[in-house]
């Protein structure tokens, strides 16, 4: 059973940047079981650009990534528009989406071990994917798999081919998943928390690998993370999500120095991030809003130090700040929010 799509007409809007794009998401909404989990999600990604999706657990980051890939459950009701290379994905037939996935769109998930078969050698899994997309012999596929594992920095690719997941570290499993995602040289790679549970050194290696893919191959990356340190290290722009909505879109430098919404400002202060280090997530006071029962008006309002009565009157529209950022805050022009300094 496929998700039910409710196509809506899209018009010029500050929520989608008006420039050449690889991906344009406009007013994306997703409801599952009668609960609206995503609402009016809009952002864009250019060729070769790395865009971050950041927010606490439950903000809608992973669901957004799954929506882009067409991997929602059949009970989902989807609205809005998702255009990839000018093609409307929400109107695509299931077979068209299957062709796009792997060939043009790839996704790596939070738990690489869960995505790999524990009882099959890594090589057999890679060869299956290669031969599913390419009409090549087993020997050619094996040579290609070795080359891919070398490209993602695994020191002994032949040995890795014959290994099982339990014989590999978390970082090695993540590199295998990245290699698998690169088999068809996709135009867009969605990386969902690719550094979770990895130590800082391995985190930096994975981020460096993703950066090189963008810079050297022109692959666009949507990097999903709760860690602003990871996001700031690689992304040119950051989409901050809260309770199923986009709260803010800004350049990474703009977000770090002059945040235009209280939520990303609070994230910066909570994680005690600086421009040179990545730090563990420590959270914000209060509890994240529940999209099944969101607060009235601004969804961040109950946790916001700058809230006023009018903030609860209606959901704030996206506005363009003086810095060029897009923000869902009615007080952005009068607030001097704290970022980070060198």
Enter the tokens of residue 265. 């400002």
Residue whose entry in the numeric block shows the structure tokens 């420039």: 19
Among 10, 180, 185, smallest CA distance to 103 is for 185
| 69-106 pLDDT, tens digit each | 999 999 999 999 999 999 999 999 989 998 898 889 99
Report H helices in the chain. 61-69, 94-103, 112-115, 122-133, 138-151, 157-161, 170-181, 200-217, 228-234, 252-257, 262-271
Query: What integer pLDDT is reported at residue 12 of this predicted model?
Result: 37
Enter the tokens of residue 276. 């040179």
299 pLDDT band (50/70/90 cuts)?
very high
Query: What integer pLDDT is reported at residue 48 of this predicted model?
Result: 93
For the chain, what percentages of helix, strand and coil (3-state, to nearest 5) are there? 35, 20, 45
13 pLDDT band (50/70/90 cuts)?
very low
pLDDT-wise least confident of 30-39, 79-88, 145-154, 267-276: 267-276
For the chain, the domains span 111-185, 257-327
251 phi and psi angles, rounded to 5 deg: -65, 155
What average pLDDT does this structure show over 16-36? 84
């Amino acid at each position: 059973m496929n998700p039910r799509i409710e196509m809506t007409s899209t018009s010029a809007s500050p929520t989608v940047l008006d420039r050449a794009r690889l991906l344009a998401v406009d007013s994306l909404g997703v409801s599952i079981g009668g609960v609206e989990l995503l609402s009016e999600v809009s952002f864009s990604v250019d060729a070769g650009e790395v865009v971050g999706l950041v927010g606490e657990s439950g903000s809608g980051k992973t669901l957004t990534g799954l929506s882009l890939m067409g991997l929602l459950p059949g009970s989902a009701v989807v609205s809005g528009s998702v255009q990839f290379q000018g093609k409307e994905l929400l109107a695509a037939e299931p077979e068209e989406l299957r062709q796009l996935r792997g060939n043009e769109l790839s996704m790596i998930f939070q738990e690489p071990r869960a995505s790999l078969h524990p009882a099959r050698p890594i090589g057999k899994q890679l060869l299956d994917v290669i031969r599913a997309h390419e009409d090549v012999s087993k020997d050619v596929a094996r040579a290609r798999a070795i080359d891919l594992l070398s490209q993602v920095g695994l020191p002994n690719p032949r040995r890795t081919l014959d290994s099982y997941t339990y014989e590999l570290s978390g970082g090695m499993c993540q590199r295998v998943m990245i290699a698998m995602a690169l088999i068809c040289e996709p135009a867009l790679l969605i990386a969902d928390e690719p550094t979770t549970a990895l130590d800082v050194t391995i985190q930096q290696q994975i981020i460096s690998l993703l950066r090189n893919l963008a810079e050297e191959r022109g692959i666009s990356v949507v990097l999903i993370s709760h860690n602003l340190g990871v996001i700031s290290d690689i992304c040119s722009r950051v989409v901050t999500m809260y309770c199923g909505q986009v709260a803010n879109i800004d350049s990474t430098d703009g977000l770090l120095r002059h945040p235009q919404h209280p939520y990303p400002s609070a994230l910066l202060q909570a994680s005690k991030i600086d421009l040179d280090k990545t730090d563990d997530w420590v959270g914000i006071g209060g509890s994240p809003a529940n999209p099944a029962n969101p607060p009235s008006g601004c969804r961040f309002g109950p946790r916001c130090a700058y809230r006023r009565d009018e903030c609860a009157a209606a959901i704030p529209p996206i506005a363009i700040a003086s810095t060029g950022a897009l923000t869902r805050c009615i007080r952005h022009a009068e607030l001097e929010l704290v970022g980070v300094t060198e």
